[in-house]
Amino acid sequence: MLRRSSTFVCVLLSSSVLFAAIDKKDPTPEQVQDIINKFTQKETEFAKAREQYTYRQTAKLVETAPAGGSFEIVEEVSFDDRNRRTAHVVYSPVQSLEHIIMTPEDEQDLRNVMPFVLTTESRGEYNITYKKREQVDEISCYVFSVTPKELTKDRKRYFDGDIWVDDQDLQIVKTFGRATGHLGRGEDQQFPKFETYREQIDGKYWFPTYTYADDTLNFKNGESYRIRQTVKYDHYKKFQFKTDSSITYGKEAPETPPTPPPAKPKN
Protein backbone atom coordinates (compact mmCIF):
# COMPACT_ATOMS: atom_id res chain seq x y z
CA MET A 1 0.00 0.00 0.00
CA LEU A 2 2.77 2.45 0.88
CA ARG A 3 4.57 1.88 -2.41
CA ARG A 4 1.39 2.27 -4.40
CA SER A 5 0.37 5.39 -2.49
CA SER A 6 3.78 6.98 -3.10
CA THR A 7 3.48 6.26 -6.81
CA PHE A 8 0.05 7.87 -6.83
CA VAL A 9 1.43 11.01 -5.17
CA CYS A 10 4.24 11.16 -7.77
CA VAL A 11 1.70 10.89 -10.58
CA LEU A 12 -0.31 13.74 -9.07
CA LEU A 13 2.77 15.91 -8.73
CA SER A 14 3.85 15.16 -12.31
CA SER A 15 0.35 15.96 -13.55
CA SER A 16 0.40 19.25 -11.63
CA VAL A 17 3.66 20.27 -13.29
CA LEU A 18 2.33 19.28 -16.72
CA PHE A 19 -0.94 21.17 -16.34
CA ALA A 20 0.91 24.21 -14.98
CA ALA A 21 2.99 24.28 -18.17
CA ILE A 22 -0.03 23.78 -20.39
CA ASP A 23 -2.01 26.50 -18.59
CA LYS A 24 0.57 29.17 -19.46
CA LYS A 25 -0.99 31.75 -21.73
CA ASP A 26 0.09 32.29 -25.31
CA PRO A 27 2.14 35.45 -25.84
CA THR A 28 0.58 38.49 -27.50
CA PRO A 29 1.69 39.45 -31.05
CA GLU A 30 3.98 42.11 -29.54
CA GLN A 31 5.47 39.59 -27.14
CA VAL A 32 5.96 37.11 -30.00
CA GLN A 33 8.11 39.61 -31.89
CA ASP A 34 10.13 40.29 -28.75
CA ILE A 35 10.63 36.53 -28.22
CA ILE A 36 11.81 36.13 -31.83
CA ASN A 37 14.24 39.04 -31.42
CA LYS A 38 15.66 37.55 -28.25
CA PHE A 39 15.98 33.94 -29.36
CA THR A 40 17.58 34.82 -32.72
CA GLN A 41 20.11 36.90 -30.77
CA LYS A 42 20.72 33.92 -28.47
CA GLU A 43 21.09 31.69 -31.54
CA THR A 44 23.69 34.11 -32.93
CA GLU A 45 25.66 33.81 -29.69
CA PHE A 46 25.24 30.01 -29.81
CA ALA A 47 26.53 29.83 -33.40
CA LYS A 48 29.64 31.85 -32.49
CA ALA A 49 30.22 29.72 -29.38
CA ARG A 50 29.92 26.43 -31.27
CA GLU A 51 32.58 27.63 -33.71
CA GLN A 52 34.98 27.56 -30.75
CA TYR A 53 34.33 23.91 -29.95
CA THR A 54 35.72 20.69 -31.33
CA TYR A 55 33.38 17.72 -31.62
CA ARG A 56 32.81 14.40 -33.36
CA GLN A 57 30.02 13.88 -35.89
CA THR A 58 28.85 10.35 -36.72
CA ALA A 59 26.37 10.00 -39.59
CA LYS A 60 24.67 6.75 -40.63
CA LEU A 61 22.05 6.01 -43.28
CA VAL A 62 20.44 2.62 -43.90
CA GLU A 63 18.06 1.57 -46.68
CA THR A 64 15.30 -0.28 -44.82
CA ALA A 65 12.45 -0.94 -47.29
CA PRO A 66 13.24 -2.52 -49.58
CA ALA A 67 16.27 -3.70 -47.65
CA GLY A 68 19.51 -2.46 -49.14
CA GLY A 69 22.86 -1.08 -48.14
CA SER A 70 24.20 1.67 -45.92
CA PHE A 71 26.35 4.78 -45.70
CA GLU A 72 28.46 5.84 -42.72
CA ILE A 73 31.02 8.53 -41.99
CA VAL A 74 32.72 9.70 -38.78
CA GLU A 75 34.36 13.13 -38.76
CA GLU A 76 36.38 14.99 -36.15
CA VAL A 77 35.58 18.69 -36.42
CA SER A 78 38.55 20.63 -35.08
CA PHE A 79 41.14 23.29 -35.98
CA ASP A 80 44.48 23.18 -37.77
CA ASP A 81 47.74 24.74 -36.54
CA ARG A 82 46.58 28.10 -37.92
CA ASN A 83 43.31 28.02 -35.96
CA ARG A 84 41.29 27.31 -39.12
CA ARG A 85 38.17 25.13 -38.92
CA THR A 86 38.70 21.64 -40.32
CA ALA A 87 36.76 18.38 -40.62
CA HIS A 88 38.91 15.26 -40.62
CA VAL A 89 37.37 11.92 -41.67
CA VAL A 90 38.41 9.24 -39.18
CA TYR A 91 36.12 6.42 -40.34
CA SER A 92 34.38 5.88 -43.68
CA PRO A 93 33.69 2.31 -44.80
CA VAL A 94 32.87 1.61 -48.43
CA GLN A 95 29.33 2.73 -49.26
CA SER A 96 26.93 -0.09 -50.02
CA LEU A 97 23.78 1.88 -50.91
CA GLU A 98 21.75 0.04 -53.56
CA HIS A 99 18.70 2.22 -54.25
CA ILE A 100 19.73 5.83 -53.59
CA ILE A 101 22.91 7.92 -53.71
CA MET A 102 24.32 10.64 -51.47
CA THR A 103 24.43 13.99 -53.28
CA PRO A 104 26.22 17.29 -52.49
CA GLU A 105 22.86 18.54 -51.17
CA ASP A 106 22.76 15.64 -48.68
CA GLU A 107 26.26 16.56 -47.50
CA GLN A 108 25.23 20.20 -47.01
CA ASP A 109 22.19 19.06 -45.04
CA LEU A 110 24.34 16.95 -42.71
CA ARG A 111 26.59 19.89 -41.90
CA ASN A 112 24.27 22.88 -41.96
CA VAL A 113 20.54 22.06 -41.98
CA MET A 114 20.14 19.16 -39.57
CA PRO A 115 21.92 21.13 -36.80
CA PHE A 116 19.78 24.14 -37.82
CA VAL A 117 20.59 27.56 -36.32
CA LEU A 118 18.35 30.62 -36.79
CA THR A 119 20.52 33.70 -36.29
CA THR A 120 19.79 37.40 -36.63
CA GLU A 121 21.57 37.23 -40.01
CA SER A 122 19.54 34.33 -41.42
CA ARG A 123 16.26 35.45 -39.85
CA GLY A 124 15.37 37.58 -42.88
CA GLU A 125 15.42 34.48 -45.11
CA TYR A 126 12.50 32.88 -43.25
CA ASN A 127 8.86 33.38 -42.37
CA ILE A 128 8.57 32.75 -38.62
CA THR A 129 5.08 32.13 -37.20
CA TYR A 130 4.11 31.39 -33.61
CA LYS A 131 2.00 28.21 -33.27
CA LYS A 132 1.53 27.17 -29.62
CA ARG A 133 3.14 26.18 -26.33
CA GLU A 134 4.33 22.63 -25.81
CA GLN A 135 6.49 20.54 -23.47
CA VAL A 136 9.71 18.86 -24.64
CA ASP A 137 10.41 16.41 -21.83
CA GLU A 138 10.43 18.76 -18.80
CA ILE A 139 11.11 21.94 -20.78
CA SER A 140 8.31 24.43 -21.43
CA CYS A 141 8.63 25.71 -25.00
CA TYR A 142 7.25 28.07 -27.59
CA VAL A 143 6.66 26.34 -30.93
CA PHE A 144 7.29 28.29 -34.15
CA SER A 145 6.80 27.41 -37.80
CA VAL A 146 9.86 28.33 -39.90
CA THR A 147 9.62 28.34 -43.70
CA PRO A 148 12.03 29.81 -46.29
CA LYS A 149 10.78 32.94 -48.06
CA GLU A 150 12.53 32.06 -51.32
CA LEU A 151 14.61 29.19 -52.69
CA THR A 152 17.56 30.91 -54.34
CA LYS A 153 19.13 29.53 -57.52
CA ASP A 154 22.59 29.22 -55.94
CA ARG A 155 21.46 25.82 -54.54
CA LYS A 156 21.63 27.08 -50.98
CA ARG A 157 19.94 24.72 -48.53
CA TYR A 158 17.18 25.80 -46.13
CA PHE A 159 15.22 24.39 -43.20
CA ASP A 160 11.45 23.98 -43.48
CA GLY A 161 9.55 22.89 -40.37
CA ASP A 162 8.98 23.64 -36.69
CA ILE A 163 11.30 24.71 -33.88
CA TRP A 164 10.83 24.43 -30.11
CA VAL A 165 12.27 27.37 -28.13
CA ASP A 166 12.88 27.08 -24.38
CA ASP A 167 10.67 29.79 -22.80
CA GLN A 168 13.33 30.49 -20.14
CA ASP A 169 16.70 30.33 -21.93
CA LEU A 170 15.17 31.36 -25.27
CA GLN A 171 17.27 28.89 -27.25
CA ILE A 172 16.15 26.22 -29.69
CA VAL A 173 16.03 22.80 -28.00
CA LYS A 174 14.40 20.79 -30.81
CA THR A 175 13.71 21.03 -34.55
CA PHE A 176 11.47 18.93 -36.79
CA GLY A 177 11.21 19.32 -40.54
CA ARG A 178 13.14 18.72 -43.73
CA ALA A 179 15.86 20.34 -45.80
CA THR A 180 14.88 22.05 -49.03
CA GLY A 181 16.39 24.16 -51.77
CA HIS A 182 16.26 25.05 -55.45
CA LEU A 183 17.17 22.16 -57.75
CA GLY A 184 17.96 22.12 -61.44
CA ARG A 185 15.26 21.38 -64.02
CA GLY A 186 14.55 17.68 -64.25
CA GLU A 187 16.38 16.78 -61.02
CA ASP A 188 14.55 14.32 -58.81
CA GLN A 189 15.94 14.51 -55.29
CA GLN A 190 13.90 13.70 -52.19
CA PHE A 191 14.88 14.51 -48.61
CA PRO A 192 13.64 12.91 -45.38
CA LYS A 193 11.92 14.60 -42.47
CA PHE A 194 14.22 14.68 -39.47
CA GLU A 195 14.15 15.54 -35.79
CA THR A 196 17.13 17.14 -34.03
CA TYR A 197 17.55 17.40 -30.27
CA ARG A 198 19.92 19.65 -28.38
CA GLU A 199 21.48 19.39 -24.95
CA GLN A 200 23.04 22.02 -22.73
CA ILE A 201 26.84 21.99 -22.98
CA ASP A 202 29.04 23.56 -20.29
CA GLY A 203 25.88 24.72 -18.55
CA LYS A 204 25.18 27.51 -21.03
CA TYR A 205 24.59 26.71 -24.71
CA TRP A 206 22.15 24.23 -26.23
CA PHE A 207 24.20 22.34 -28.83
CA PRO A 208 22.76 19.69 -31.20
CA THR A 209 23.53 16.18 -29.98
CA TYR A 210 21.25 13.85 -31.96
CA THR A 211 19.36 13.82 -35.27
CA TYR A 212 16.96 11.06 -36.30
CA ALA A 213 15.05 10.42 -39.54
CA ASP A 214 12.85 7.47 -40.52
CA ASP A 215 10.99 8.37 -43.69
CA THR A 216 9.93 7.16 -47.13
CA LEU A 217 11.39 8.97 -50.15
CA ASN A 218 8.79 9.11 -52.94
CA PHE A 219 10.45 9.80 -56.29
CA LYS A 220 8.71 11.23 -59.34
CA ASN A 221 9.19 8.03 -61.34
CA GLY A 222 6.94 6.21 -58.88
CA GLU A 223 9.69 4.46 -56.93
CA SER A 224 9.68 4.67 -53.13
CA TYR A 225 12.45 3.83 -50.68
CA ARG A 226 12.35 3.96 -46.90
CA ILE A 227 15.51 5.05 -45.13
CA ARG A 228 16.64 5.46 -41.53
CA GLN A 229 19.25 8.10 -40.76
CA THR A 230 21.01 9.14 -37.55
CA VAL A 231 23.57 11.83 -36.79
CA LYS A 232 25.33 12.04 -33.43
CA TYR A 233 27.29 15.10 -32.32
CA ASP A 234 29.39 14.38 -29.23
CA HIS A 235 32.75 14.90 -27.48
CA TYR A 236 32.23 18.67 -27.39
CA LYS A 237 35.32 20.42 -26.05
CA LYS A 238 36.18 24.11 -26.07
CA PHE A 239 39.29 24.72 -28.15
CA GLN A 240 42.27 26.60 -26.79
CA PHE A 241 43.33 28.86 -29.65
CA LYS A 242 47.02 29.36 -30.26
CA THR A 243 48.45 32.88 -30.22
CA ASP A 244 51.45 34.19 -32.15
CA SER A 245 52.62 36.60 -29.47
CA SER A 246 54.88 35.46 -26.63
CA ILE A 247 56.76 37.00 -23.72
CA THR A 248 60.33 35.92 -22.94
CA TYR A 249 61.60 36.23 -19.40
CA GLY A 250 65.41 36.43 -18.81
CA LYS A 251 67.90 37.75 -16.34
CA GLU A 252 67.48 41.24 -15.00
CA ALA A 253 69.51 43.76 -16.99
CA PRO A 254 72.41 45.30 -15.05
CA GLU A 255 71.91 48.83 -13.87
CA THR A 256 73.66 51.40 -16.13
CA PRO A 257 75.75 53.93 -14.20
CA PRO A 258 74.81 57.57 -14.75
CA THR A 259 76.80 59.54 -17.34
CA PRO A 260 78.98 62.19 -15.67
CA PRO A 261 78.33 65.80 -16.68
CA PRO A 262 80.81 67.36 -19.17
CA ALA A 263 83.86 69.09 -17.64
CA LYS A 264 83.72 72.86 -17.33
CA PRO A 265 86.13 74.68 -19.64
CA LYS A 266 89.24 76.21 -17.95
CA ASN A 267 89.60 79.98 -17.98
Q: Could you read off the pLDDT of 66-76 as tens digits, one per residue?
A: 999 999 999 99
Residue 87 lies in a domain: yes
Residue 254 lies in a domain: no
- Left, alpha or beta for 161 (phi > 0: left; psi -120 to 50: alpha)? left
CA–CA gap between residue 257 and residue 18 (Å, rounded)? 81
pTM metric for this prediction: 0.80
Q: Give the pLDDT confidence score for residue 197 in this predicted structure.
A: 97
Contact at 8 Å (CB) between 157 and 109? Answer: yes
Q: Give the pLDDT confidence score for residue 262 in this predicted structure.
A: 53
CATH classification of the domain holding 61: 2.50.20
Expressed as residue numbers, the domain containing 212 is 31-234
Q: Residue 225: which H helix or E strand, with range?
A: strand 224-238
Kindly indicate the confidence band of residue 8, based on its pLDDT and cuts at 50, 70 and 90: very low
Contact at 8 Å (CB) between 163 and 81? Answer: no
Mean pLDDT value across residues 150-162? 94
Residue 20 lies in a domain: no
Q: Give the pLDDT confidence score for residue 204 in this predicted structure.
A: 86
- 111-130 core/surface letters (b: 16 or more CB in 10 A; e: else): eebbbbbbeeebbeebebeb
Residue 153 lies in a domain: yes
Give how many domains the chain has, as a whole number. 1
Answer yes or no: is pLDDT of 21 > 80.
no
